[in-house]
């Protein structure tokens, strides 16, 4: 089956044809690390994560690069406010970002390049643009991209090429520009700002050039997929295309994918309005990380998604159902023969699941197929239709689909020895019909986050 993806450049859903058969090179605009990210930011990362997971599930060899912007006006301002260095600020928030990514079960990108470690690549790119007449230097040492030199400018955002750079104010330090539409590739040195001494002069890179340089450094001049939030279409991605293609003479990106916003209340979750929730806040109020992940991926990436208590509660109970089923399957023992219709159930589920995700990552029908399977497997456990071996293959099948969803508990979840000892003690108490001890141990375990349940297959446990 062909994977189809919505390409912003084409304005439609297209068959995904990798540049190299069997492989996909993907770049995601990563965080500017000047403060803690909010769950809206993570919606953008989770969308890329879902894309990468699905491409891998379909057998493609994916190289995923997500940058870290560690030099920027906001970081400089933050460092000044705290009388510290931009390195200290960006290290602190990059670390927090990575920790939140891990909490949300986001696949670690193959490369997470930092802007400050790629200044030579940016300088080289800017030099090419200067040589080609696509860039010019102003008196203060800044270098701008000359929009008039690039007739194709603005196609991604469907801009009127004669139009202004709508919505962007002219920076006070950008007075030297030839054309109000031109954008900074390099910012001349200023007192109190970090600056690099390079062959194009002293200064620091603009944001757009960072992504062009880092994506091409790891993925080549032309790569398959570039992702980001819809707010990045203009100017960020529009500028990335112009400067990259003007420098290399080659097509920059084959497919442009953009996610819609996470809303809270009736507006976009955004730091500027203070309308935000952070991963730690949500987890701290008792939502499990996997439930938060599910809530954030549960709507199609191009639809706006409303964040709220309701969605967290329903994601929480969905994750509980999955956990309970996996625990039940692990404990299941039966002398019954194999369920002859189980392979059909798996095939139908996989077909619905794959068809949905192949269709521009249409997550809702994929989740529906997954949770319908959970219902059906519970029914077959209750009616003792499964063999012991069936239960094992059901776990394997669920875990295979979960390579895309990432909401199942870790497979190798074993209890800490002291907890396992309590579980064993309770099993012994039950075997000896010491119900008082067994009840007491159940409460002790629950207090420590382990729920035990008695089934026909004996006692089984799962984490709360
Ligand atoms: P920012 O910190 O605003 O520069 O955003 C960093 C990344 O997060 C960009 O890719 C944005 O498109 C994305 N982003 C920011 N806010 C939201 C939101 N409320 N929903 C989804 N993505 C967002
Ligand atoms: Zn970017």
Helix (H, G, I), strand (E, B) or coil at 451: strand
Would you state the pLDDT for residue 411?
81
Helix (H, G, I), strand (E, B) or coil at 203: strand
Residue 165 has pLDDT above 60, yes or no: no
Distance 272 CA to ligand 1 centre (A): 11
Q: How are the residues of the chain apportioned to helix, strand and coil, as percentages rounded to the nearest 5? A: 50, 15, 35
Helix (H, G, I), strand (E, B) or coil at 206: coil
Q: Which of 206, 260, 255 is nearest to 235 (CA)?
A: 206
Pocket test for ligand 1, best of 32, 231, 301 (most atoms within 8 A of CB): 231
**Across residues 87-115, what is the average pLDDT?**
97
**Across residues 209-214, what is the average pLDDT?**
98
Residue 168 has pLDDT above 70, yes or no: no
Residue 1 has pLDDT above 80, yes or no: no
Residues with CB under 5 A from ligand 2 (ion): 29, 211
Distance 266 CA to ligand 2 centre (A): 27
Q: What angle in degrees, to the nearest 10, is found between the helix axes of 342-358 and 363-382?
A: 170
**Which atom of ligand 1 sits closest to the CA of residue 271?**
3
**Which atom of ligand 1 sits closest to the CA of residue 262?**
20
All domains in the chain, ordered by first residue: 4-259 (3.40.50.620), 308-405 (1.20.120.640), 417-463 (no CATH)
The Cα–Cα gap between 187 and 180 comes to: 16
Distance 209 CA to ligand 2 centre (A): 8
The Cα–Cα gap between 264 and 252 comes to: 35
Pocket test for ligand 1, best of 40, 266, 275 (most atoms within 8 A of CB): 40
Identify the residues whose C-beta falls under 6 Å from ligand 1. Answer: 29, 31-32, 40-41, 43-44, 228-229, 231-232, 259, 261-262, 268-270
Q: How much is the mean pLDDT over the chain?
A: 94
Tokens of 306: 């409303």
Q: What are the angstrom distances between the C-alpha of 346 and each of 182, 352, 403, 432?
A: 56, 10, 16, 40
Would you state the pLDDT for residue 383?
96
Prior bond to 442 cis, omega within 30? no
Pocket test for ligand 1, best of 100, 229, 235, 304 (most atoms within 8 A of CB): 229
Q: Which of 294, 317, 380 is nearest to 344 (CA)?
A: 380
pLDDT band at 161 (very low <50, low <70, confident <90, very high): low
Q: 225 pairs with which residues across the strands?
A: 26, 255
Strands, sheet with 143-145, edge to edge from the N-terminal-most edge strand: 135-137, 143-145, 183-187, 201-205, 196-198
Would you state the pLDDT for residue 170?
52
**Which atom of ligand 1 sits closest to the CA of residue 41?**
8
Distance 326 CA to ligand 1 centre (A): 35
Q: Contact 226/65 with Cβ under 8 angstroms? A: no
Q: Contact 105/63 with Cβ under 8 angstroms? A: no
**Which atom of ligand 1 sits closest to the CA of residue 260?**
21
Would you state the pLDDT for residue 54?
98
pLDDT band at 346 (very low <50, low <70, confident <90, very high): very high
Residue 75 exposed, middle or buried by CB count within 10 Å (0-12, 13-18, 19+):
buried
pLDDT tens-place string over residues 12-49: 999 999 999 999 999 999 999 999 999 999 999 999 99
Closest C-alpha to ligand 1, atom 18: 40
**Which atom of ligand 1 sits closest to the CA of residue 305?**
20
Weakest mean pLDDT among 149-163, 215-229, 400-414: 149-163
The Cα–Cα gap between 245 and 252 comes to: 6
Q: Are strands 201-205 and 183-187 parallel, antiparallel or unpaired?
A: antiparallel
Q: Where are the alpha helices (DSSP H) in 132-269?
A: 207-219, 238-248
Q: What are the angstrom distances between the C-alpha of 65 and each of 25, 215, 226, 393?
A: 8, 7, 10, 34
Which long-range contacts link 281-286 to residues 24+ away (Cβ below 8 Å)? Answer: 282/39, 282/312, 283/103
Which ligand sits nearest to residue 277's alpha carbon?
A: 1
Would you state the pLDDT for residue 464?
81
Would you state the pLDDT for residue 159?
86
pLDDT tens-place string over residues 385-438: 999 999 999 999 999 999 999 999 988 777 888 998 999 999 999 989 999 999
What would the DSSP string read from start to end of 267-332? Answer: EE--GGGT----HHHHHHTT--HHHHHHHHHSS-TTS-EE-SHHHHHHHHHHHHHHHHHHHHHHH-
Closest C-alpha to ligand 1, atom 11: 229
Would you state the pLDDT for residue 295?
98
Weakest mean pLDDT among 89-98, 158-167, 303-312, 406-415: 158-167
Which ligand sits nearest to residue 46's alpha carbon?
A: 1
Where do we find the tokens 């003479």? Answer: 249
Q: Contact 373/26 with Cβ under 8 angstroms? A: no
Phi-psi region of 255 (alpha: psi -120 to 50; beta: other; left: phi over 0): beta
Q: What is the DSSP letter of 149?
A: G
């Amino acid at each position: 089956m062909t994977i189809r993806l919505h390409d912003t450049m084409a304005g439609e859903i297209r068959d995904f044809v990798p540049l190299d058969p069997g492989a996909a090179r993907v770049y995601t605009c990563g965080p500017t690390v000047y403060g803690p990210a909010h769950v809206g930011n993570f919606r953008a990362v989770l969308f890329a994560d879902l894309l990468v997971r699905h491409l891998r599930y379909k057998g493609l060899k994916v190289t995923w690069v997500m940058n870290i912007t560690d030099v920027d006006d906001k970081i400089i301002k933050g460092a000044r406010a705290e009388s510290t260095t931009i390195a200290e600020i960006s290290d602190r928030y990059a670390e927090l970002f990575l920790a939140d990514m891990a909490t949300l079960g986001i696949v670690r990108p193959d490369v997470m390049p930092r802007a400050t470690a790629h200044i030579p690549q940016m300088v080289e790119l800017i030099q090419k643009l200067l040589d080609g007449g696509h860039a010019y230097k102003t008196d203060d040492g800044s270098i701008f991209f000359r929009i008039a030199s690039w007739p194709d400018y603005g196609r991604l955002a469907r801009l009127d090429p004669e139009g202004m750079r709508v919505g962007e104010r002219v920076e006070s330090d950008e007075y030297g520009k030839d054309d109000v539409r031109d954008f900074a590739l390099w910012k001349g040195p200023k007192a109190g700002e970090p600056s690099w001494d390079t062959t194009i002069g002293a200064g620091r890179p603009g944001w757009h050039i960072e992504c062009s340089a880092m994506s091409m450094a790891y993925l080549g001049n032309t790569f398959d997929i570039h992702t980001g939030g819809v707010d990045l279409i203009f100017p960020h991605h529009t500028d990335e295309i112009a400067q990259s293609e003007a420098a290399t003479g080659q097509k920059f990106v084959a497919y442009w994918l953009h996610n819609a916003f996470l809303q809270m209340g009736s507006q976009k979750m955004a730091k500027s309005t203070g309308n935000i929730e952070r991963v730690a806040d949500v987890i701290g109020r008792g939502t499990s990380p996997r439930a938060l992940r599910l809530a954030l991926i549960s709507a199609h990436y191009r639809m706006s998604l409303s964040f709220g208590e309701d969605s967290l509660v329903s994601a929480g109970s969905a994750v509980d159902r999955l956990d309970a089923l996996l625990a039940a399957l692990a404990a299941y023992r039966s002398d019954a023969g194999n369920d002859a219709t189980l392979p059909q159930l798996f095939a139908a589920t996989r077909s619905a699941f794959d068809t949905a995700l192949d269709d521009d990552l249409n997550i809702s029908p994929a989740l529906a197929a997954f949770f319908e399977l959970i219902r059906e497997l519970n029914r077959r456990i209750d009616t003792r239709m499964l063999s012991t071996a069936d239960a094992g293959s059901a776990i394997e099948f669920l875990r295979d689909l979960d390579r895309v969803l990432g909401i199942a508990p870790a497979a190798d979840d074993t209890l800490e020895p002291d907890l396992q000892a309590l579980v064993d003690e309770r099993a012994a108490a039950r075997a000896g019909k010491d119900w008082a001890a067994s009840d007491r141990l159940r409460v002790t375990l629950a207090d420590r986050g382990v729920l035990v349940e008695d089934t026909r297959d004996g006692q089984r446990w799962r984490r709360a």
